[in-house]
Structure 1
Amino acid sequence: MPINIPKELPAREVLENENIFVMDVDRARSQDIRPLNILILNLMPEKEKTEAQLLRLLGNTPLQVNISFLHTATHESRNVSKSHLEQFYTTFEQVRDKRIDGMIITGAPVERMDFEGVNYWDELKEIMDWAKANVTSMLHICWGAQAALYHYFGIGKFELPKKCSGIYRHTVNAPTVKLMRGFDDIFYAPHSRYTDVDINKIEAHNELELLASSEEAGAFMIMSKDERHIMVTGHLEYDAHTLAEEYERDLAKGLDIDMPENYFPDNNPTNKPLNRWRSHAHLLFSNWLNYYVYQETPYEWK
């Protein structure tokens, strides 16, 4: 089944070229199907790239999904046009009276700052508090996962000696949990961050369960025991070339940065990276939509 997005959204052409089934809103309204309403709070700087990455995964399930994009009102994005935000995005004030089936909070390039130092932190806290009563299931990615662990569960972050960037091997810690259905015992996933969370605090927390982890990259997938919150510290949604683009960007800035680990074939940055995580990215999003959104959301919100 398709995802429903505006006709003019730039990601539409990208997805159609990849043979992803998309449907415009007018056609979707003619179908007698209760679609899932998914709200994406996109905090990433290059919003159009993130839109395509997430829509690619949300659009590859048997479920019909309505997508809405949210941006913060208290922060002005510098890497996207104002017209793009005005046409395709909404603010919290425009959705606070709605019920949402599923919500995604992305990463953000602010992880080295204290949470309270982020200029939209108060707004994000208000959104996360609202979500407790108005959203069936939350998927938090990278810094969004760290923000959720801090705000909901009191687990802070710490800065790493160097950036965690590359493709890392992960182990499934909770194979019987529905979110992990279909996952290989060992799988690979990208990480790109300067900070981490204490895996021991996660394992000791009586409201959290560690679902997958890496010896090199630490805690990867965490779920609240009420199954309302899923925190993913890496970037399964990334394209094959995303880490290469970030590496080139950091070099151009003159940063003292290491090459992404386990990424370029033969550790040669002129070689084209291979996507070794695509199937598990699709599994994560399809399992989330099916087991934690579709099967838990009432047909009509009261």
Structure 2
Amino acid sequence: MSLLFDSADPIDSPVLAPDGAGDERCRWGQPDHRKPIEIGLVNNIGDAALRATERQFARLLRDGAGERRVRLHCFALRSVPRSAAARHRIDSLYSDIADLGHVRLDGLIVTGAEPRKAALRDEPYWDEFRRLVDWAEANTRSTIWSCLAAHAAVLHLDGIERRRLPRKCSGVYTAVKLQRDPMLDDLPATMRVSHSRLNDLDADKLSSAGYEVLTRAVGAGVDVFRRDGRSRMVFFQGHPEYDPATLQREFLRDVGRYLAGERDDCPEPPCNYFSAETEARLAAFCDRATADRRPDVIAELPPLALRPGLTAALEASAVALFGNWLSLLAAES
């Protein structure tokens, strides 16, 4: 599979197509008239992870597409605070959220934004986000809401409040199927998925409001759930899009913040993520950092190694999940 750019498209967006299709022709030189699945990505993630999130979702759509053609359009909420560099990238390569109505989208993916307020309704992007939820429900066949975006969407749709966790949920967890659903076709009975969040949604409240919990992550609670209406809404509390190194990058960021005095506690390593030897070394490092807290202690951080087999387990489940979503969109087109 190749990541391409369609210069004929009015929106500057990446196109995902089979190898050899860079000129919109198949391998025999004939025009490729297959109708692409049109996907929008509203990327609200923080500046440091902006490009990584683009790559992660593009990779999953590419790998899950099989022989289908997928065109990915990138958007961003204007009300999410940005650095000058991130704003320049968005202005150069993304389309304004107001242009959503000018593109026929089959599906939409919406990421969360870095939280700045204790209450979602107080976030600077809240009003714009609510309009996006309403638009997606009326104009897409299916929308995926990722992590904090899932929390904000259910708050707007049904008034379901998230709850603060005693400590951050971070790690790789075993997800168990609870229902039969096309999104879960051909996935193993238990899957591996990354979670990284400070808040949680109550399964009973979701069920009472008409949501169906599809998978539960052992030790992390609700994983994937859905709400059917004019659009099939799919919600991820986890991060199937994360590449294997994402949790490591987040952990190192949090360690740096602790040593700089920007947080009170030395962060715990992600659960079920690093090798046993690495976990033991990190425990010793945290003791050292707590006893002598200063930024240059980061140089003493030990080498980090992931658990064996983790990468393959994460990628297989995520690709199958997104492949099933694309299949549902293709079947309805």
- Structure 1 partner of 2:305: 272
TM-score by length of 2: 0.79
What is the alpha-carbon distance in structure 2 between the residues aligned to residue 152 and residue 259 of structure 1? 34
Q: Which residue of 2 aligns with 1:38?
A: 39
1:118-197 paired onto structure 2 within 5 Å? 118-174=123-179, 176-197=180-201
Match of 1:90 among 76, 90, 95: 95
Deviation at 1:115, TM superposition (A): 1.3
Whether contact under 8 Å (1:213, 1:220) holds in the other structure is: yes
- Distance in 2 (CA, whole Å) between partners of 1:252 and 1:244 is 12
Distance 1:188 1:210, change over 3 A: same
Please report how far the alpha carbon of residue 290 of structure 1 lies from its aligned counterpart in structure 2 after TM superposition.
0.7
1:81-140 deviations in Å (ceiling 9; x for gaps): 333212210112122243311000012221863111110110111111111221111011
CA contact (8 A) 2:56 2:243 kept: yes
CA shift for structure 1 position 267: 5.5
What are the equivalent positions in structure 2 for 1:16-27 lying under 5 Å apart?
Answer: 21=19, 27=24
Q: Which residue identity lines up with residue 281 of structure 1 in the other structure?
A: A
As a proportion of its length, which structure holds more helix? 2
1:260 aligns with 2:270: yes
Counterpart in the other structure of 2:323: 286
Cross-structure match for 2:297 = none
Indicate the percent of aligned positions where both proteins have the same amino acid. Answer: 28
* Matched residue, 1:300: none
Query: Greater CA deviation, 112-121 or 232-241?
Result: 112-121
SS in 1 for 2:114: coil
Match of 1:57, SS state, is: helix
Aligned residue among 200, 203, 207 for 1:203: 207
CA contact under 8 A between 2:38 and 2:107: conserved in structure 1?
Answer: yes
Distance in 2, Cα, partners of 1:151 & 1:67: 26
Report if the CA contact (8 A) 1:167-1:260 is conserved.
Answer: yes
Q: Please say if 1:217 is aligned against 2:220.
A: yes
CA distance in 2, matches of 1:79, 1:262: 37
Structure 1 residues 296, 267: CA separation in 2 closer, same or farther (over 3 Å shift)? farther
Does the 8 A contact of 1:69 with 1:89 survive in 2?
A: yes
SS of equivalent to 1:166: strand
Report the residue type matching 2:202 in the other structure.
Answer: D
| 1:23 to partner: Cα distance | 5.6
State the TM-score, normalized to the length of structure 1.
Answer: 0.86
Partner of 2:246: 242
1:4, 1:64 → 2: CA distance?
A: 11
Q: What amino acid sits opposite 2:243 in the alignment?
A: D
Aligned-pair Cα RMSD in Å: 2.6
Letter in 2 for 1:265: S
Unaligned runs of 5+ in 2: 8-12, 280-302
Cα deviation, residue 21, structure 1: 4.8
Aligned residues: 285
Runs of 4+ residues deviating >6 angstroms: none
Contact 1:165 1:192 in 2 (8 A): yes
SS in 2 for 1:104: strand
Q: Is the 8 A contact 1:3 1:65 kept in 2?
A: no
Counting only pairs closer than 5 Å after superposition, residues 58-137 of structure 1 correspond to structure 2 as: 58-60=61-63, 61=65, 62-78=67-83, 80-110=85-115, 113-137=118-142
The one-letter code matched in structure 2 to 1:129 is D
Contact 2:117–2:123 (8 Å) recurs in 1: no
